[in-house]
Amino acid sequence: MAYQDRILACNNGSRENYLPFFGRGQQLGWIRKDRLERLSGFPDIFVVGGQQVDLHAALFDYDSATAAVDYALRVMADEGLIQGWRDERYAVAERFSDPAVFSIERAGCPFLGIRSWGFHLNGYVRKPDGLYLWIAQRAHDKPSYPGLLDNTVAGGHPEGLTLAQNLIKECAEEASIPAHLARQARAVGAISYLYESPQGLKPDQMFCYDLELDESFTPIPADGEVAGFYLMPAQEVMEIVRDTDRFKFNCAPVLIDFFIRHGLIDPDREPDYVGLCEMLHGAPPV
């Protein structure tokens, strides 16, 4: 395997089987064609056309759109079409900084192909023999990707918080990293990918953070989502990413970006170094 394959695995989505979903002039999502018939059963909410689906124009403000979409999603969840309701609200917009057109239950995002945002943080330690990374292992009873390896801290982006606030919250909850340390985390870029799961299309964007930690600090699982943390030499992490699928799929590109930014991948030796950089930051349209 190669790093390229790991990034391709995050970009397994094709827009062929989907129609774009628009609301208030923004492209907000992608609707799978086999869901059009069911959605046309909510004609006051979803206007299903031949080329696109539109949020009904009468839902012209945040509150009415939020309430209407929520109603439809709850009906379809009761019908078993949407699984894993979490009672977590995500903002729906074309760009992260745009005002939300409406908000949505997190489990509804892939059903409507809504872009979601989140952050991934790599905690690392500089030792005399090189960089080490704090790798999390996901809890074995976690519903999604149990037991797989993960970045030190990661989380989806809930409505109403800034990235910095969410990062501090998740650092405490997942890894017992105190706020004064979490505040030292450095935003270092963002990766985009277009992933297709049985639930639908995920045109996600993840903000990447680095946090240099002192050798004396050890992250400790706090909320039961993490089984344990392991301090691994970056060279070993590189091999695991490249040669195995032990990491959750979307942690691999975050790590590859880390390897590139920290000079661990040599452009004189990596056959498609520029291609890696391009793939990591590819721009899947919402």
Tell me the Cα Rg of the chain.
20
Location of structure tokens 């892939």: 110
Q: Whose Cβ is closer to a copy of itself: residue 117's or residue 229's?
A: 117
Provide the token pair at 216. 């004396």
Residue selected from 107, 168, 260, 286 as contacting a copy of itself according to rule CB under 8 A: 260
* Site size toward a copy of itself, by CB under 8 A: 36
Q: Whose Cβ is closer to a copy of itself: residue 25's or residue 263's?
A: 263
Interacting span for a copy of itself (CB under 8 A) from 66-74, 78-86, 186-194, 219-227: 186-194
Residue selected from 5, 61, 78, 278 as contacting a copy of itself according to rule CB under 8 A: 278
Minimum Å distance from CB 221 to a copy of itself? 27
Q: Is residue 234 within 8 Å of 132, Cβ to Cβ?
A: yes
Minimum Å distance from CB 210 to a copy of itself? 8
Q: Which residues of 19-28 are buried (b: 16+ CB within 10 A; e: fewer)?
A: bbbbbbebbb
Q: Whose Cβ is closer to a copy of itself: residue 72's or residue 260's?
A: 260
HSE on the CB side for 211, CA within 13 Å? 31
d(CA 36, CA 19): 9
Binding mask 143-162 for a copy of itself (x = CB under 8 A): -------------------x
Residue selected from 156, 189, 221, 233 as contacting a copy of itself according to rule CB under 8 A: 189
Applying CB under 8 A, does 116 fall inside the site for a copy of itself? no
Provide the token pair at 92. 């729906």
End-to-end CA distance of the chain: give it in Å, rounded: 29
Nearest alpha-carbon partner for 90 in 67, 115, 71: 115
Residue selected from 2, 43, 96, 197 as contacting a copy of itself according to rule CB under 8 A: 96
Q: Is residue 221 within 8 Å of 174, Cβ to Cβ?
A: yes
Residues in contact with a copy of itself by CB under 8 A are 95-97, 162-164, 186-192, 205, 207, 210, 260-263, 265-268, 270-275, 277-278, 280-283
